[in-house]
Amino acid sequence: MKNNFIVYVLSDSVGDTAEQVARAAAEQYENTDYEIKKFPYVESLKKIDKIMENLNPANSIFVYTMVNKEISEYLQRACKEKGIPYIDIMAPSLDKFTGFLNQEPIRESGVIRKLDEDYFKRVEAVEFAVKYDDGKDPRGILKADIVLIGVSRSSKTPLSMYLAHKNYKVVNIPLVTGSKVPDQLFEVPRRKIIGLMIDPSDLIEIRRERIKVLGLDNSVDYVSIEKIYEELEYAQKIMKKLGCPVIDMTKKAVEEAANLVIDIIDDLN
């Protein structure tokens, strides 16, 4: 004869953790037939009273994750009064962590969900930065949180990726002498655009290292000091025309530059 029972899964958040634990435990027993009734976002004592109505204590068991102490203790009292067994999944872990860290938990529901949301936002931002890197598709300018503009090797790509890991959707656009600037740059709010400038002597050294990696020689225009001055002058004119803030990237680490960009964006928004 099968044992039929109902597992009441309660949580002040989504309740996925409690449900997974309840199923994993219930599946360990043969000759049983169980049903799971899940109640997410239990955030009031009245909701517990409503759940307790019309249930059969003889075939019920409660499994729950509650970080709200008042609601958790109320649920425990209600279960004891009706003789219903209950499992508080969070309490043993919180007790151990409290003793280990010597501090009380914040008791905020949905923390894991918030972390998951933050993770997926970061992944989306990184994918965005890759898709619209180096002016691949100027349409991304209209969708971006931040638009970086500058000459080649002014740290646009590494800065874009670093900012993406901070959850910002970033597009970077190269400014090349003689090439048309995307129209979209003049369609977005100036507060979203950041110009990147760099000292010519530093830029030439960075480019020389780059062509060495590519197996090219130093005679190309890419490392010509006259060409570099021309490019920087052109970039400066574009930035002035756009009226955007400008950061000097000379000797700056990506982390330092990223903090400057974030400060500028936050101040202007």
DSSP-derived pairing of the beta strands 32-39 and 86-88:
unpaired
Q: Are residues 196 and 161 in the same domain?
A: yes
Determine the pLDDT at residue 15. 85
Asked if the structure places residue 88 within a domain, the reply is: yes
Asked if the structure places residue 63 within a domain, the reply is: yes
CA angle 20, 22, 24 (to 5 degrees): 65
Q: Are residues 133 and 49 in the same domain?
A: no
Q: Are residues 134 and 246 in the same domain?
A: yes
Residues 6+ apart with CB under 8 A from 15: 9, 38, 39, 40, 65
159-213 confidence digits (pLDDT tens): 999 999 999 999 999 999 989 999 999 999 999 999 999 999 999 999 998 888 8
Q: Are residues 128 and 236 in the same domain?
A: yes
Q: Are residues 99 and 141 in the same domain?
A: no
Q: Are residues 259 and 145 in the same domain?
A: yes
The residue among 68, 87, 109 that closes a domain is 109
Asked if the structure places residue 220 within a domain, the reply is: yes
- Whether residue 60 contacts residue 84, with contact meaning beta carbons closer than 8 Å, is answered with yes
Q: Are residues 128 and 248 in the same domain?
A: yes
Determine the pLDDT at residue 1. 57
Asked if the structure places residue 230 within a domain, the reply is: yes
Q: Are residues 143 and 260 in the same domain?
A: yes
CA angle 96, 79, 26 (to 5 degrees): 70
Handedness of CA 44, 16, 87, 83 (dihedral sign): positive
Asked if the structure places residue 118 within a domain, the reply is: no
Q: Give the whole-angstrom CA distance, residue 144 versus residue 192.
A: 8
Tokens matching residue 16? 């996925």
Report the Cα 174 to chain-centroid distance in Å. 27
Asked if the structure places residue 47 within a domain, the reply is: yes
Q: Are residues 199 and 160 in the same domain?
A: yes
Q: Are residues 193 and 157 in the same domain?
A: yes
Q: Are residues 101 and 155 in the same domain?
A: no
The residue among 109, 140, 159 that closes a domain is 109
What CATH number is associated with residue 256?
3.40.50
Digit-by-digit pLDDT tens for the chain (269 residues) are 567 999 999 998 888 889 999 999 999 998 889 999 999 989 899 999 999 998 999 999 999 998 888 999 999 999 999 999 999 998 888 888 888 888 887 766 666 566 567 778 888 999 999 999 999 999 999 999 999 999 999 999 999 999 999 999 999 999 999 899 999 999 999 999 999 999 999 999 999 988 888 777 666 788 889 999 999 999 999 999 999 999 999 999 999 999 999 999 988 76
Q: Count structural domains, the chain.
A: 2
Q: Give the whole-angstrom CA distance, residue 135 versus residue 140.
A: 9
Determine the pLDDT at residue 176. 94
Determine the pLDDT at residue 131. 95
Asked if the structure places residue 98 within a domain, the reply is: yes
Q: Which domain holds residue 152?
A: 123-268
Q: Are residues 102 and 131 in the same domain?
A: no
249-263 confidence digits (pLDDT tens): 999 999 999 999 999
Asked if the structure places residue 117 within a domain, the reply is: no
Which residues define the annotated binding site for ADP?
150-157
Which residues define the annotated binding site?
150-157
The residue among 82, 109, 136 that closes a domain is 109
